[in-house]
C-alpha cells in the first residue's frame, strides 16, 4: 500500500518513526486517521513506534470543517484503540498543543514525552461538544477525576510541568525531541497497563457535587460543561461499556443547536480577520494617545502591553498626572491578576510618558484621540497634532458615534485617517471596530488589523453610520426594550428575560452599570434629525433629568445600596413608567419572557441585516462577532444573525412585522425580511 502523504513511517534500527504532517495544526482529518490506521499496521515488528508531528504543534484537535457531515471512516475511536492495542507500543513525542483528538491519541500511547511549554487540553467543551474518542474515559484514569473535570468541563489547558506532576506524561525533554526519544527508548521501561484498562483513582463523592454546582453557575445556559461532567462520570463503568456511550453522545451533540452556534462563532472569528489581508501593514512601534480618561488610559495600557511606546497627551499638567496614574494602575493591575511579571510591568511603564505638550507626540507613528465626544474638540486635537506629527503618521479616532469624516475634515492626507473604536475597558474587551472612511488606504486598514492582533483583539471592519456596527445595534435593541416598557413590561422583567436568554445582563441593568449620560447626550444630539414619525419613549430622559444616572450615583433604573452592585427594584421608577403609559393612552399588557427575548432578537437581527445590506458590515459574521465580543452576546447562541438563521428568518420577519405594525413609522425592515 502506498504511504499517505499526511502520515509517513520510517525506520531506524528497531524504532519506527510515525510522522503526521497536516498543516496548519495536524488536525485529525480523514486523511490523518486513515494514515494512522495504516501506520499502525506498518510499525508492527519494530520494538517501539514513535508518534510525532511536523510543523508547529502536535495534533491540536479535530477538523471542524468535517463536523457538519456524517463521520467518515476510519473513525477516531477505532484508530485510537488500534494505537493502544498495537503489539508494537507507541511513544507520543509532543510539542505545541496536544488538544482534543490529539490528546486522545496521546493517551492511547504507552509513553508520553513532551517538549517544555507543551499544552494539553480537551477544548471540545468550547464548541459545545464532549470528546468522542475516549478522552473523557482515559483522562480520569490517567490523571485523576478532579483535574480531568477541570480540563474537560472548563477547557483548562494543562502545562507539561502539571502533566508530569499528575503522572500524565513520562518525561519533559529539553533540546532535540528525536534525540530525547531515542535516549528514552534505549532504556525503555516496562510497558505500562493501557490507560483504558487502568482502575479509576478514588475521589470523594462530594467533590463531584461541588464541581457540578460551580460548573452550573459558570455555564450560563451552556450545556456542554455539564455534558462533559456526565461523560467523565461514565468512567465509573468499564471502558468498553462507557466509550461507545461517549461516542454516541459526541455525535448527537455535533448536531445540537449549541454546538452549531459555537462552531459558527469559531469560524466567524476567523472569517472577520480576513479583511486584514487587503494590504501589507506598517509596523507601528510608537503611539500617542490624546486624552487619558477612561478610554484613553485603557487604550494606552493595551498599546503598552502590545509592546508599543506610548505618550499620553492631556489638557494640562494636572490632567496629565492624573492620566499617568490611571495608566500606571491599569498596567500594575496585570501584576495583581497574575497576568504579568514585575519585570514586564516595569518594562511597560518604561515605555510610557504623559504630558501636556503636543511636541512630545513628534516621533509617533500613530495618534489616537479619546477626548470628549465633541466634534470641535476632536477637530482641534487633530489640528494641533498635524503640526507636530509626521505627515504620514496614522491618525485615529475612538469616537463612539461621531462621523470620522467630520472629525478629520481639513486634515492633510485623508488616506491615513481611520476610526479605531475600542470598547470599555479598552485593555480588556476583545472587540476592536476598525472604521474606514471612503478615503482610508488599504495599508492603513491593514495596519489597524495588525495592531488589533498585537493587542490580542478581534477586529471587525465597519463602515460609517451612527454608532457603527455595535452601538447602532445596541440603540435598536434599547429602543425596542423601551417600547416594551411603554406597552406593559417593567425593567426587571425585561432584564430577567434577557438573562434567561443567556445575556450576562439585561438592557436596564447594563445601562445602570455603564451610566445613562452618554446615551442621553447622544439622543439629544439626534433629536433634530430623528424621524418625527418614529415613536419616542422619553422615560430614560426623565430618569436622567432627575439625575438617576445609574450605579455610580446609587440610582438609575434600579436602586443601589451604598457600595453594592445589586439592583433593587424601585417602585418610584415603575410607577413613573406606568404613569407615562397611561398618559400616552396606552393600555398596558403583559409580555412573557420568551416574547420579550424573541422581540429583542428580531430587532437585533433586522438591524444587523440592514447594516449588512448597507455595506457597513461586510457580512453576517461581522455582526455576530461584534455582538459576541463587544456586548456579551452568548457565544452558544452564535450571535444574533446566526440565531435568526438557526430559528428561521421567516419567524424573525413575522415578529418584526408585528413590532413594526404596533409602532408605525418606527422601524425600517431589512430587505431580507421582506
- Using CB under 6 A as the binding rule, whether residue 373 contacts ligand NAI is answered as yes
Burial class of residue 189, CB neighbours in 10 A (0-12, 13-18, 19+): exposed
Task: Write the binding mask 341 to 370 for ligand NAI: x where contact by CB under 6 A, - elsewhere.
Answer: -----------------------------x
DSSP 600-660: HHHHHHHHHHHHHHTTSBSSHHHHHHHHHHHS---GGGT-HHHHHHHH-HHHHHHHHHHHH
How many of the chain's residues bind ligand NAI (CB under 6 A)?
23
- Using CB under 6 A as the binding rule, whether residue 25 contacts ligand NAI is answered as no
With respect to ligand NAI, which residue has the nearer C-beta, 422 or 558? 422
- Using CB under 6 A as the binding rule, whether residue 98 contacts ligand NAI is answered as no
Instruction: Name the one range near ligand NAI by CB under 6 A: 48-56, 84-92, 335-343, 416-424.
Output: 416-424
Alpha carbon distance 173, 118 (integer Å): 10
Instruction: Name the one range near ligand NAI by CB under 6 A: 243-251, 291-299, 494-502, 526-534.
Output: 291-299
* Grid coordinates given for 604: 437585533
- Using CB under 6 A as the binding rule, whether residue 400 contacts ligand NAI is answered as yes
- Using CB under 6 A as the binding rule, whether residue 422 contacts ligand NAI is answered as yes
- Minimum separation from the CB atom of position 422 to ligand NAI (A): 6
- Using CB under 6 A as the binding rule, whether residue 452 contacts ligand NAI is answered as no
With respect to ligand NAI, which residue has the nearer C-beta, 409 or 586? 409
Strand (E) positions, 228-365?
A: 286-290, 309-313, 352-355
Q: How far is CA 252 from CA 131, 154, 333, in A?
A: 12, 20, 43
Q: Is 288 in a helix, a strand, or coil?
A: strand
SS (H, E, C) 471-504: HHHHHHHHHHHHHHHHHCCCHHHHHHHHHHHCCC
What are the respective helix, strand and coil percentages of the chain, to the nearest 5?
A: 55, 10, 35
With respect to ligand NAI, which residue has the nearer C-beta, 80 or 354? 354
With respect to ligand NAI, which residue has the nearer C-beta, 267 or 372? 372
From the list 331, 115, 358, 135, the residue with the least C-alpha distance to 249 is 135
- Minimum separation from the CB atom of position 521 to ligand NAI (A): 9
- Minimum separation from the CB atom of position 477 to ligand NAI (A): 16
Q: Choose, by CB under 6 A, the member of 248, 372, 428, 524 that binds ligand NAI.
A: 372
Q: Choose, by CB under 6 A, the member of 22, 398, 551, 652 that binds ligand NAI.
A: 398
Beta bridge partners of 18: 9, 51
With respect to ligand NAI, which residue has the nearer C-beta, 153 or 396? 396
Q: Choose, by CB under 6 A, the member of 7, 51, 142, 371 that binds ligand NAI.
A: 371
- Using CB under 6 A as the binding rule, whether residue 419 contacts ligand NAI is answered as no
- Minimum separation from the CB atom of position 168 to ligand NAI (A): 44
With respect to ligand NAI, which residue has the nearer C-beta, 208 or 513? 513
Residues 445-479 as b or e (16 or more Cβ within 10 Å = b) = bbbbbbbbbbbebbbbbbbebebbbbbbbbbbbbb
- Using CB under 6 A as the binding rule, whether residue 19 contacts ligand NAI is answered as no
Q: Are 438 and 444 in contact (CB under 8 A)?
A: no
Q: Are 103 and 120 in contact (CB under 8 A)?
A: yes
With respect to ligand NAI, which residue has the nearer C-beta, 180 or 616? 616
Q: Choose, by CB under 6 A, the member of 134, 281, 292, 467 that binds ligand NAI.
A: 292
Q: How far is CA 266 from CA 49, 270, 539, 551, in A?
A: 35, 7, 39, 34
With respect to ligand NAI, which residue has the nearer C-beta, 383 or 648? 383
Instruction: Name the one range near ligand NAI by CB under 6 A: 372-380, 409-417, 486-494, 596-604.
Output: 372-380
Q: Choose, by CB under 6 A, the member of 110, 125, 139, 295 that binds ligand NAI.
A: 295
Alpha carbon distance 274, 49 (integer Å): 40
- Residues 6 or more apart from 108 whose CB is under 8 A from it? 80, 81, 83, 84, 90, 134, 138, 194, 195, 196
Task: Write the binding mask 303 to 322 for ligand NAI: x where contact by CB under 6 A, - elsewhere.
Answer: ----------xxx---x---
- Using CB under 6 A as the binding rule, whether residue 291 contacts ligand NAI is answered as yes
- Minimum separation from the CB atom of position 304 to ligand NAI (A): 17
Alpha carbon distance 607, 473 (integer Å): 6
- Minimum separation from the CB atom of position 469 to ligand NAI (A): 13
Instruction: Name the one range near ligand NAI by CB under 6 A: 195-203, 230-238, 421-429, 546-554.
Output: 421-429
Instruction: Name the one range near ligand NAI by CB under 6 A: 123-131, 170-178, 422-430, 431-439.
Output: 422-430
- Minimum separation from the CB atom of position 376 to ligand NAI (A): 10
- Using CB under 6 A as the binding rule, whether residue 57 contacts ligand NAI is answered as no
- Using CB under 6 A as the binding rule, whether residue 551 contacts ligand NAI is answered as no
Beta bridge partners of 91: 50, 111
> In residues, how long is the chain?
674
Q: Are 638 and 646 in contact (CB under 8 A)?
A: yes
97-99: strand order across its sheet: 97-99, 119-121, 158-159
74 preceded by cis ω (within 30°)?
Answer: yes
> CA dihedral defined by 203, 209, 212, 217, rounded to 10 degrees?
-140
- Using CB under 6 A as the binding rule, whether residue 293 contacts ligand NAI is answered as yes
E strand or H helix at 82, and its extent? helix 76-85
User: For binding to ligand NAI (CB under 6 A), which residues are involved?
Assistant: 290-296, 313-315, 319, 370-373, 377, 381, 398-400, 422-424
Amino acid at each position: 500500500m502506498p504511504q499517505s502523504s499526511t502520515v509517513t513511517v520510517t525506520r531506524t534500527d528497531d524504532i519506527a518513526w510515525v510522522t503526521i504532517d497536516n498543516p496548519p495544526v495536524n488536525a485529525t482529518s480523514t486523511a490523518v486517521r486513515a494514515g494512522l490506521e495504516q501506520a499502525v499496521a506498518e510499525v508492527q515488528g519494530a520494538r517501539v513506534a514513535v508518534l510525532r508531528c511536523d510543523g508547529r504543534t502536535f495534533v491540536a484537535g479535530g477538523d471542524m470543517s468535517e463536523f457538519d457531515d456524517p463521520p467518515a471512516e476510519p473513525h477516531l475511536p477505532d484508530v485510537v484503540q488500534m494505537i493502544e492495542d498495537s503489539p508494537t507500543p507507541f511513544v507520543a513525542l509532543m510539542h505545541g498543543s496536544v488538544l482534543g483528538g490529539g490528546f486522545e491519541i496521546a493517551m492511547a500511547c504507552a509513553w508520553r514525552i513532551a517538549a517544555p511549554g507543551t499544552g494539553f487540553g480537551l477544548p471540545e467543551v468550547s464548541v459545545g461538544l464532549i470528546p468522542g474518542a475516549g478522552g473523557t474515559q482515559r483522562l480520569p484514569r490517567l490523571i485523576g477525576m478532579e483535574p480531568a473535570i477541570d480540563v474537560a468541563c472548563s477547557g483548562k489547558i494543562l502545562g507539561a510541568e502539571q502533566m508530569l506532576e499528575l503522572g500524565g506524561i513520562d518525561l519533559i525533554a529539553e533540546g532535540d525531541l528525536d534525540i530525547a526519544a531515542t535516549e528514552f527508548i534505549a532504556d525503555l521501561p516496562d510497558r505500562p497497563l493501557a490507560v483504558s484498562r487502568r482502575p479509576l483513582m478514588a475521589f470523594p463523592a462530594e467533590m463531584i457535587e461541588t464541581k457540578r454546582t460551580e460548573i452550573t453557575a459558570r455555564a450560563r445556559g451552556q450545556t456542554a460543561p455539564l455534558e462533559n461532567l456526565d461523560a467523565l462520570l461514565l468512567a465509573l463503568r468499564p471502558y468498553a461499556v462507557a466509550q461507545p456511550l461517549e461516542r454516541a453522545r459526541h455525535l448527537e451533540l455535533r448536531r445540537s443547536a449549541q454546538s452549531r452556534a459555537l462552531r459558527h462563532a469559531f469560524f466567524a472569528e476567523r472569517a472577520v480577520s480576513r479583511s486584514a489581508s487587503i494590504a501589507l501593514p506598517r509596523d507601528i512601534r510608537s503611539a500617542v494617545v490624546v486624552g487619558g480618561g477612561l478610554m484613553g488610559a485603557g487604550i494606552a495600557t493595551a498599546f503598552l502591553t502590545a509592546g508599543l511606546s506610548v505618550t499620553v497627551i492631556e489638557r494640562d499638567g494636572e490632567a496629565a498626572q492624573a492620566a499617568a496614574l490611571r495608566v500606571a494602575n491599569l498596567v500594575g493591575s496585570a501584576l495583581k491578576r497574575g497576568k504579568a511579571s514585575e519585570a514586564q510591568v516595569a518594562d511597560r511603564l518604561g515605555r510610557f510618558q504623559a504630558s501636556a505638550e503636543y511636541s512630545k507626540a513628534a516621533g509617533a507613528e500613530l495618534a489616537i484621540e479619546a477626548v470628549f465626544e465633541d466634534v470641535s474638540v476632536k477637530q482641534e486635537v487633530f489640528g494641533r497634532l498635524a503640526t507636530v506629527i509626521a505627515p504620514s503618521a496614522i491618525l485615529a479616532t475612538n469616537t463612539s458615534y461621531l462621523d470620522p469624516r467630520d472629525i478629520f475634515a481639513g486634515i492633510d492626507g485623508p488616506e491615513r485617517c481611520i476610526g479605531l473604536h475600542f470598547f470599555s475597558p479598552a485593555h480588556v474587551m476583545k472587540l476592536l471596530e476598525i472604521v474606514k472612511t471612503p478615503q482610508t488606504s488599504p495599508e492603513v486598514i491593514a495596519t489597524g488589523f495588525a495592531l488589533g492582533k498585537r493587542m490580542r483583539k478581534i477586529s471587525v471592519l465597519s463602515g460609517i453610520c451612527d454608532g457603527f456596527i455595535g452601538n447602532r445595534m445596541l440603540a435598536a435593541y434599547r429602543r425596542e426594550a423601551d417600547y416594551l416598557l411603554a406597552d406593559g413590561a417593567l425593567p426587571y422583567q425585561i432584564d430577567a428575560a434577557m438573562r434567561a436568554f443567556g445575556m450576562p445582563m439585561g438592557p436596564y441593568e447594563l445601562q445602570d452599570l455603564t451610566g445613562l449620560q452618554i446615551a442621553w447626550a447622544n439622543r439629544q444630539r439626534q433629536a433634530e434629525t430623528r424621524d418625527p414619525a418614529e415613536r419616542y419613549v422619553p422615560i430614560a430622559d426623565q430618569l436622567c433629568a432627575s439625575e438617576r444616572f445609574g450605579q455610580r450615583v446609587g440610582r438609575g433604573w434600579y436602586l443601589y445600596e451604598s457600595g453594592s452592585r445589586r439592583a433593587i427594584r424601585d417602585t418610584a421608577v415603575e410607577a413613573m413608567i406606568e404613569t407615562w403609559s397611561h398618559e400616552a393612552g396606552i393600555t398596558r399588557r403583559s409580555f412573557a419572557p420568551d416574547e420579550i427575548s424573541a422581540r429583542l432578537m428580531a430587532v437585533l437581527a433586522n438591524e444587523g441585516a440592514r447594516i449588512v445590506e448597507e455595506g457597513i458590515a461586510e457580512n453576517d459574521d461581522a455582526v455576530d462577532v461584534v455582538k459576541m465580543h463587544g456586548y456579551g452576546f452568548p457565544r452558544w447562541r452564535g450571535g444574533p444573525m446566526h440565531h435568526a438563521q438557526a430559528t428561521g428568518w421567516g419567524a424573525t420577519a413575522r415578529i418584526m412585522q408585528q413590532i413594526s405594525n404596533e409602532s408605525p413609522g418606527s422601524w425600517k425592515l431589512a430587505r431580507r425580511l421582506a
